[in-house]
């Protein structure tokens, strides 16, 4: 079996599918993205699914025939909010963070240690590589935590136009340890 390079794409597609299915997000609200910025036309909430890198696994052998890869995924939730005066900011932040954390918790529950996600990912690998013997992922994504705290972001998160300084909240959840071992040749 030859090595293929479809692991990251398959994992992103499978993660997108399970997050949409389990959390009930529509196509316009939840997409694979290269960053956490929401499209200008988005409504109250936006979910951006992004790669969080590929690293060597614990049995990777650069001089041998084993390529052990560990993949990560980061999922950011961006929520629109009204521009809030400085003296009301702490109340806004407290209530907004609670709503944001609720969404992140639903996503965490859908993705963390999900073998349904990994089974779909392995099917995606077969489809992408056009090879029924594509070497599958052997370990699921595992929750690694949330970003340090929700960030208040300006309107540039929703368009190319700067304007309001407090237009939304963003926070992400990280997953790692999706493991795939391939033969080098």
Checking if the pLDDT of 88 tops 90, the result is no
By mean pLDDT, which of 35-49, 94-108, 141-155, 156-170 is the weakest? 156-170
CA distance 166 to 86: 10
Higher-pLDDT residue of 17 and 86 is 17
pTM of the full predicted structure?
0.90
CATH class of 7-182: alpha beta
Which residues lie closer than 8 Å to 185 by C-beta, 6 or more apart? Answer: 2, 3, 65
pLDDT per position as a tens digit, 69-79: 999 999 999 98
Which residues lie closer than 8 Å to 125 by C-beta, 6 or more apart? Answer: 4, 6, 7, 10, 134, 135, 136, 137
pLDDT at 102: 93
């Amino acid at each position: 079996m030859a090595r293929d390079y479809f692991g990251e794409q398959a994992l992103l597609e499978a993660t997108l599918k399970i997050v949409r299915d389990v959390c009930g997000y529509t196509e316009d609200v939840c997409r694979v993205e290269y960053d956490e910025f929401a499209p200008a036309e988005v409504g109250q909430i936006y979910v951006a699914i992004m790669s969080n890198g590929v690293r060597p696994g614990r049995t990777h052998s650069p001089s041998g025939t084993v390529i052990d890869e560990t993949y990560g995924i980061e999922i950011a939730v961006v929520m629109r909010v009204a521009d809030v005066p400085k003296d009301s900011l702490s109340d806004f932040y407290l209530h907004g963070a609670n709503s944001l954390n609720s969404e992140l918790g639903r996503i965490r529950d859908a993705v963390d240690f999900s073998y349904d996600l990994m089974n779909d990912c392995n099917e995606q690998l077969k489809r992408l590589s056009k090879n029924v013997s594509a070497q599958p992922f052997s370990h699921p994504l595992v929750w690694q935590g949330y970003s340090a705290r929700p960030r208040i972001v300006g309107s540039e998160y929703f368009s190319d136009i700067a304007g309001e300084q407090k237009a939304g909240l963003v926070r992400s959840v990280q997953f790692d340890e999706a493991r795939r071992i391939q033969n080098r040749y």
